[in-house]
Structures are given as C-alpha cells and as structure tokens.
Structure 1
Amino acid sequence: MRTNRRTFIGVSAAALLSGSRLAFAEKKYDDGATDTEIKLGHAGPYSGPASAYGVIGKGIEAYWKMVNDQGGINGRKVNFVTYDDGYSPPKTVEVVRRLVEQDKVLCLFNTLGTPSNTAIHKYMNQKKVPQLYVATGASKWGDPKHFPWTMGYQPDYNTEGQIYAKHIMANVKDAKIAVLMQNDDFGKDYVDGFKKGLGGDAGKIVKLVTYEVTDPTVDSQIIQLKDTGANVFLNVATPKFAAQAIRKAADIGWKPAQYMTNVSASVAAVLKPAGFDNAQGIITAAYLKDPTDKRWADDAELKVWREFMTKYMPGANQGDGNYVYAYTVSYLMHETLKKCGDTLTRENVMKQAANFQKFRVPGLLPGITINTSPTDFFPIQSVQLEAFKGESWELFGEVMSAESA
C-alpha cells in the first residue's frame, strides 16, 4: 500500500483534475512483459539429427544481446529463453510447456522444425500464446482462420515445390524424376507442392523414397534412385541428409539435374561437407542474400550484418547462411515488438505481426518484402532461383511466386 500511496502523491493535482491519463495506467501487459523486460521463448535443435540448425538459435541470442546493448526495445531488455529440443517432437512439447507455464514467456519466437511445431500447434492456440515466425515453411502456418496464434516466416514449402516443378518441366527434356523425402510433415508438404506444380505430369516421378531422421545415412535410398535411370533428383532433406545425398550421388556416378530445398542451402553446413565438386549446378530457391555470393561483397546490408557477426559472434562461420536467416527473422520480431509500444499483450503482438505492408528487412533479396494481414499469415511469398557454381550460389531469373513461376 505504501508504494501505491507514494505514486499517488507524486502526481500533481492539476493532472488529476484535468483528467490526464497517467503513463503507467496506459501500459498493458500479459505474462512475459513488464516495464523493464520482454521475455521470448524458443526451442531449437542444438543437438540431434538437425543440429546444423542450432546456429540459428545462437544467432538469435546474439541479436538480442546487441539490442539490449543498444538500450532494448522501448526501454525494455529482451530476455531470450531458449532450450534444446533435439528436433524431437515429444521433447519440444516438454520444453514449450515449460516456457509457457513456468517461464511464462510473452510468446514463442522462431521455434524450429515442421514436426516440432506441429506437436505444439494446437496447444499454443488453445493457450492463446503467439507461436510467431516459426522456422519452417509448412503451409499450415498460414491458417489464421483455424490457428490465429501461429504465423510462419519463410516462403512456404508448397509454393517452393511448385516452382521447382515448373522449372523442371520447362528446362529438362524427357524428365524422369527421382525424389528423396524426409518422412514427416516437412517432406510431405514439399512433395505435395511439387506434385501440384507438375499437374498432369505428376507421372514423371519415377521413384520416391523416404528416410527417417533417426536413420544413420541415406546411402541405400540414393542407390535405389539412381537405379531408376532418373535424370532429375529432387532432394527434400534437412542439412545432414542433404549433404549425404549429394555426396553419395557423386560417389556412385549419378549425375542428374539436382534440385534441393532452400532449408538445406547453407554453403557451410551442406555444400562444403558434400564436396563443392559434387554440388556443381544444384538449383534451389532463395529469399535471403547468401554471404558467399560475391555480388553481395560490398552490399550495405550485409556489411552491417558482418559487423554484427564480428562483434557478437566472433569465430562463427560467416559463410553459413543460417546466420543471415537468424538476423532477418530477429529483425522482423524486433520491429513487431517495437510496434506494440506499451501494449505488450499477446493479442497485440499478433495484431502487429499481421500488419506489415511492403516492409523491408535487411538481408532479404531485392524485391522481396514482408507483407501480412489478418487474413494473410505468410510474411514472405516470393523467391528467386539460384544455382551452385564454384564455391557459392549464383542467382538467376526473376523474383517469383508460385503464380508467376
């Protein structure tokens, strides 16, 4: 009571008589927000079969350290609470319940993996806690009618799959397509989009084989695919297995036209381990500036990113595009929280996330911006194709969406 009384006495009579609203009366908070702190929750694979993505969580952590060093967001420091879920859905459920019910975070930010996010999808919406800018491109994250508390970030896998299909049909004569697919929602969403893009030519898929994330290698699957005589290889795999597939194809002398998902496009985490010689000509879809692409050597946006990396992540591999991803998605979250002002409620966080028009995030490719609305939860809907040459990616063609492919 004493604190409240002092607060009242400190307010001038004139302010009270004039009906002026006090600043502290205008502030609105949910769990995870105070006058001095914003608490964000995150789960990622710092261990396990997708541990190559662990650098994303580290990059995000470094970003918030930079923000806090600069004074925070509207005077509040960001408390980024992150746990290892090992890319295991049951573990994701465990750590996310801890984040929501014990740590009491304001929202989840960039939880990684399609199967992992699927495991908490209904829970987060039942709890009405934002599951924001998830690190997966499954199309299900853009369904505000049924899941108003979940929003994606990157281009959706379905669209990306359609674009590859259209490019293959336009550029590969007598295409016979072999597909390696991770056996979960991530793989299925990609392949569904790919088949949709093929349309009446879906029969050109001559073989589809799957693997489990618990498998040690995909060597036997690649041998099966080569034996079909396919001249196109769609590599729908996370980094560890994508690299294995590229290397094995080369080892057994299989030289199809190769298409690989954007989530495995890291030069440092995938192409280098696979062997640069083995990766020549692979095509993927990009929406971020690749730090190994010489065209961005003097780019102002990546110059700022490199300065950030040098200061806050000394010794980290600046050739790993996952760090660019971490920076861009954190920049968007930063802007979302800034727009919330002193109304740091979960409802307002989602409201601001769903209100971006042509917003430029440093690190996105030219011509690609953030666009959302209450009925559109796909922030990025465009990509540009690129091919691997030498030791880096080279962009070609125009920025496009599934409709313009």
Structure 2
Amino acid sequence: MTTVTLVGTLLLGSAACSRDTAADAGNDVQAKDSAQATQCPAGMTPKKATGSPIEIGNISSLTGPGTFPESSKAAKAVFDRLNTCGGVGGRPVNFTVEDDQGDPAVAAQAARRLVEQQKVVLNVGSASLLDCAVNASYYAKQKIDSIQGTGVDPVCFNSPNISPVNTGPFTGVTVSLYYASEVLKKQSICRVRLFDVPGFVSAFDDAVTRWEKITGKKLTYAGEIGKSTDDVTPLLLQAKKAGCDAVVIDGVEANGLAVGKAVKANGLTDITWIGLTSYYTANVGKQLGAAGDGLRANSEFEPFSNTESSALSDWRGLMQKNDIPLTSFAEGGYLAATIAQDALVKMDGEVNRKAVTAQLAKLTAYNTPLIGSPYSFGNADRHAPNQSSKFVVLKNGTWTVATKNWVTLPDGS
C-alpha cells in the first residue's frame, strides 16, 4: 500500500467527522456574532471586473468519505468579492475548483486539467489529503505554484512550489512541545504518537528532535500506537507511570474524543494533555462536555471560536454572508486567497503563470493577524512559513483561548 493510500485511509475518518460537525461549529459561532465583512479590499472600490479572466485553480476533497469544502468555498468568496471591486486591473478571477474525490488518480488528472487545459496561473486554497503527495513533482516541472489552504502530509512542507498557510501537524508537534516546556514551564514533557502512517513517522520524529535542539531538553516518555484502531488508554497510563507533567498527543478527531474520555475515566486530569488541531472541533467539545475540562489543543490560526477577536472580523463577516461554516479550514482558504489577491493586485503588466510565479518569489514577509508568523513564498526549496500557534482549552464543552499571545518557535530553529 502506498503512503498516499495510507494517508487517505487513516485520515478519512477524521475528515468525515470534521465535515459532519462543521455546520454545527459554524452555526454555534454565527449565532453569537454579527461581524461585518468589508465591501472591498483595502484601496479598492465597487466596480465590476469585465476584462478577460485570470484563471486560478484549486484541488480539494469535496466528495467521498472525507471532505473539506470550506476552504475552497472561502477562497471563492474572497475572489467573488474581488471581482465586484474591479478585479485585478479590471480582470476578474475565474476560480475553478477540482474535486479529487480522495483518489490519487483523480487528483493527478485534476492537476493536469487545471494546468494544461484551464491554463491556471496559480492554485489557491487547496485542502486535500492527496494533492501535495500526488502532484508536487508535477507542479515543479510545470513551474506553477500553490498557496495551500491546508497542508497535511510532509510533502506539502517540502516542495519548492507549494507553501501552506497553516502550521501543519509536524511543526504543530514542535510548537506544542515548546508551549508545554517553555510557556507552561512543565518539567517532565512527554509525547504520544497515534498516527501510524509510515510516511508521517519520520517527520514526527524530526519534530521532536527539533524541540530537543531548541530547548536542550529530552522527553521523559515517548509512546506510540501499534495500530490506529488500538485503545489509547494503555499509553496514557504509561505516561502517568513515567511521571509526565504534560503530554503532546496527536491523532484524528476521534482520538481526541477517546483521549478526553480516557483521561477522565482513569483519573489522569493532573497531567496537561495537548492535542493537535484535529482535536479543536465543536464536536469534541460537545461530546466531552465538562468531562473534557482541561484538554488543550493547538489552533494553527487565530482561534476560529473566539468571537471577540477583531482579527477575525472580516473573515467571519464574509463567511456569514456566504453561508460558510466557521472552521479552521475556512480560515485557511480565506487566508490563502487573500494572500493571492494582494499579490496579484500589486502586479504590473501581464498576469500570466510566469509573472505570477515571479511575483510570489518576491513574497518574503506577508504579515496578517490570522497567523503568528509572516507568510512567505520566495524561491526556497521548501516552505513552512507558519511557525506559530495559539492554544485553546476546553471548559464545560466550549473551546476557549488559553494563550492571548502567539507561541512562536525561535528564528533559525
């Protein structure tokens, strides 16, 4: 079985859960909030774009067992608004979304349709389990870039032509360990790996090694699941026996539910448990309720459930206007499209693939309050610009912000 197939098999359950609860997450927040989106991007005024279209693509998982429609919908909302405000030098963006159906062959075909038939100048806001692993080499050969809305597998963060806006699971582990040791000041730091995808294992190991180099510290305990379907309880009990003060634990949304229940059932609430972004869903909060109090999670963006954050005002308003659930996937798509929009409107002359690629090569520091590190594309061999996170904690079934300030890994680490 290929790594791509394994990734899809493992994560589809999480994707399906996230999608099933996305509307609930969005509606819960929307009911409490009346944010208003700006009418036009800064410096622009209402004016319908009528010139020849600029073709932009997106490959996302829209059908199949696991779906991520919020990212592409959010990106489309950004471009639709741009088109009512003059577009790019009078030219509208024609945004084409391809559904990879969670199938590697379909993902490869989709990339070729966009690049060779649609003649897209750029891909924006893609949210797929397969796009990076399947198409990264093809993108490099075709010299086309992708501002990824959701980077999942290691290839997303190790390609010259792909730059994700999210922190990702691997940097997510490093920054979560850093949060435990350097912010919470926990002494005995531990790590439990629940992902059993071969292509992920070495990347997660490297994430731990990176934390060790940054801090000069070592893990007190490291445990790993045998199979993704195994009971997590023995690993949690081993962490307790090892004397762990804080445990960084990964896995999919279902693992978050299992961890929260096992922590409560086995009296392990004296340990600080920190999950990855996959734990940060309305469903986890709803299912655990007060039993999950104290469970923490990494929010790769400004926490979407924070209705008091002014940084989310335009995003929240634009999502509400377009009936898009408020989720981290929607944040990723919105941010990716906003970055692309701002890069395109600054261009002089012809807007074609070569020119857009050259424009992104100059993008070395894009600052936005939605993430804690400047976004960049540039011309490096690999891109993992988002080196920051905020953290959320469960209280009575509701995710609340645990860190007012961003937790950012040291430069050069």
Query: Shared fold (TM-score greater than 0.5)?
Result: yes
**Distance 1:350-1:50 versus aligned 2 partners, 3 A rule:** same
> In the alignment, what sits opposite 1:152?
164
* Partner amino acid, structure 2, of 1:399: W
**Distance 1:234-1:221 versus aligned 2 partners, 3 A rule:** farther
> In the alignment, what sits opposite 2:32?
none
**Within 5 A, what are the aligned runs for 1:13-92?**
35-51=51-67, 53-92=68-107
Deviations, residues 359-378 of structure 1 (Å, cap 9, x unaligned): 333x515x643345333864
Shift of 1:161: 2.2
Q: Which has the higher contact order (CA 8 A, sep 6+)?
A: 2
> In the alignment, what sits opposite 1:31?
none
> In the alignment, what sits opposite 1:283?
296
Residue pair 1:68, 1:77 contacting (<8 A) in 2 also: yes
Q: Does 1:317 align with 2:325?
A: yes
> In the alignment, what sits opposite 1:350?
357
Residue pair 1:160, 1:402 contacting (<8 A) in 2 also: no
> In the alignment, what sits opposite 1:121?
136
| Match 1:386 to one of 387, 391, 396 | 391
Quick one: distance in 1 between partners of 2:345 and 2:279?
Answer: 31
Identical counterparts, % of pairs: 16
**Distance 1:384-1:243 versus aligned 2 partners, 3 A rule:** closer
| Match 1:327 to one of 319, 322, 334 | 334
Q: Could you list the runs of 5+ residues in structure 1 that have no partner in the other structure?
A: 1-33, 213-217
Quick one: distance in 1 between partners of 2:356 and 2:96?
Answer: 18
| Match 2:315 to one of 294, 305, 330 | 305
Q: Does 1:402 align with 2:412?
A: no
Shift of 1:128: 2.0
Q: Secondary structure at the match of 1:275?
A: helix
Alignment RMSD, CA only?
3.3
> In the alignment, what sits opposite 1:179?
193
Quick one: distance in 2 between partners of 1:101 and 1:225?
Answer: 49
**Distance 1:182-1:357 versus aligned 2 partners, 3 A rule:** same
| Match 1:205 to one of 193, 208, 221 | 221
Q: Could you list the runs of 5+ residues in structure 2 that have no partner in the other structure?
A: 1-49
Quick one: distance in 2 between partners of 1:349 and 1:211?
Answer: 44
Shift of 1:395: 4.0
> In the alignment, what sits opposite 2:378?
373
* Partner amino acid, structure 2, of 1:155: T
Q: Secondary structure at the match of 1:177?
A: strand
Residue pair 1:357, 1:370 contacting (<8 A) in 2 also: yes
Quick one: distance in 1 between partners of 2:362 and 2:261?
Answer: 45
Residue pair 1:222, 1:245 contacting (<8 A) in 2 also: yes
Shift of 1:379: 6.8
TM-score by length of 2: 0.72
> In the alignment, what sits opposite 1:234?
248
Q: Secondary structure at the match of 1:343?
A: coil
Residue pair 2:301, 2:390 contacting (<8 A) in 1 also: no
Q: Secondary structure at the match of 2:194?
A: strand
**Distance 1:323-1:183 versus aligned 2 partners, 3 A rule:** same
**Distance 1:116-1:208 versus aligned 2 partners, 3 A rule:** farther
Deviations, residues 343-389 of structure 1 (Å, cap 9, x unaligned): 2222221222232354333x515x64334533386474342432314
Quick one: distance in 1 between partners of 2:239 and 2:157?
Answer: 38
Shift of 1:37: 0.5
**Distance 1:153-1:306 versus aligned 2 partners, 3 A rule:** closer
TM-score by length of 1: 0.73
Shift of 1:400: 4.2
Deviations, residues 44-95 of structure 1 (Å, cap 9, x unaligned): 12234542x3221222222222222333222122222112223443332232
Q: Secondary structure at the match of 1:80?
A: strand
Count of equivalent residues? 351
Quick one: distance in 2 between partners of 1:248 and 1:91?
Answer: 38
**Within 5 A, what are the aligned runs for 1:258-277?**
258-262=273-277, 264=278, 266-268=280-282, 270-272=283-285, 274-277=287-290
| Match 1:338 to one of 339, 345, 360 | 345
Bigger Rg, which one: 1
> In the alignment, what sits opposite 1:95?
110
Q: Does 1:253 align with 2:261?
A: no
* Partner amino acid, structure 1, of 2:284: L
